[in-house]
Amino acid sequence: MSTLLTAARPALSELTEQERMFQEAVRDFAESEIAHKVMEMDKAQQLDHSLIPQLFEMGLMGIEIPEQYGGTGADFFTSILVVEELSRVDPAVSVLVDVQNTLVINALLRWASDDQKARYLPKLATDTVGAYALSEAGSGSDAFALACRATRDGEDWVLNGHKLWITNGAEAELFIVFATIDPDAGYKGITAFLVEKSFEGFSVGKKEDKLGIRASSTTELLFENVRVPGENVMGEVGKGYKTAIETLNEGRIGIGAQMLGLAQGALDHTIRYVQEREQFGRPIGNFQGVQFQIAEMATEIEASRLLVYNAARLKDAGKPFVTPAAMAKLYASEVAQRVASMCIDLHGGYGFTKEYPVEKLYRDAKIGTIYEGTSNMQKQTIAKALMR
């Protein structure tokens, strides 16, 4: 237990001056450029595409990409700060940035060849959105029950099948696609491929009509004899399962940051509201019962922050972080739901309308306990680590 709680010293809630300046810059950007577009994007179920070039210009789409490839050259923790700050304003926008950094770029930095890095990292740093294509209709929590098939044809591979629930599917130009080269081999047949949107036979299918994070595109991908050059196999043939597992372990910290930011945003709105809304001749924030609820939410959010920051610091330090990541994702996602629900309550009837932003954050919070590993899967990971 001491490793989980103390390995990331100094104090987890403390930021360096550089981290704090970056955090403030992202917060200012989110409040000035995103906040006024949130409700319209949610209604339209589409990201305002003018935001994407701005995200690239801010350096938020290539945070860990080394400067030699045109990236920001920062660390994983910086990615987590960015996701948290964007989520305070709009979790739908933060998902775009989160997947780009904690999944796509993270996987390329660790598993791609030098040639693949030289070809794709400069694009991902400047103008290309990426997506991570693992899930299928029959493979959710059972992530490696893949039906998408890759067959060797000379030096190339030919992909057939489809993927579901792919975040950034509508905006992405580069996809990390997991397919099996041998269904009988189980997880040992899984291989990762770098697929460009322009490859013949590849297409983006239907876009899901979702409860929350509606401006974030979640799509189906279709593969009909898609020819992928052998040089676009990422990592070793048959070792894609390792790429997927280890990348998702890092990605879960990103989900924790999303939910942390969402909860903080909901609380921020609510603190303002309870000091303005009057009943019985005084602001409702003057009532002790409301104050106690505010205090409980703030405490749970800070506990989530410490878990998320701890996991990110451990990851950057090269120390074991799988269990802390599962704890961060589990706790932050469940806190986000509780906080968003309580914020609705404190807004009363107004909270149940789209006039106030807490209604949207309440809907957005639900996905946190589902994607990149359900709460039950996180509990299983934690329990296994404790009961070895």
| Active-site residue set | 372
- How far, CA to CA in Å, does 380 sit from each of 4, 327, 333? 17, 11, 16
Q: Which residue do the tokens 């899967």 mark?
A: 377
Cα–Cα distance, 305 to 213 (Å, whole number): 21
- How does DSSP assign 239-272, residue by residue? -HHHHHHHHHHHHHHHHHHHHHHHHHHHHHHHHH
Cα–Cα distance, 265 to 20 (Å, whole number): 18
User: How many Cβ atoms are within 10 Å of 231's Cβ, its own excluded?
Assistant: 12
Cα–Cα distance, 83 to 90 (Å, whole number): 10
Helix axes 240-276, 358-365, angle to 10 degrees: 150
User: How many Cβ atoms are within 10 Å of 261's Cβ, its own excluded?
Assistant: 31
Among the residues of 102-163, which ranges form H helices?
A: 106-111, 114-126
| Side-chain half-sphere exposure of 302, counting CA atoms within 13 A | 9
Nearest of 342, 265, 278 to residue 286 by alpha carbon: 278
DSSP assignment, residue 211?
S
Q: Which residue do the tokens 């000035």 mark?
A: 32
DSSP assignment, residue 9?
-
Contacts of 213 (CB under 8 A, 6+ apart): 91, 92, 95, 364, 367
- How far, CA to CA in Å, does 327 sit from each of 300, 366, 376? 14, 17, 11
User: How many Cβ atoms are within 10 Å of 72's Cβ, its own excluded?
Assistant: 21
Cα–Cα distance, 372 to 255 (Å, whole number): 8
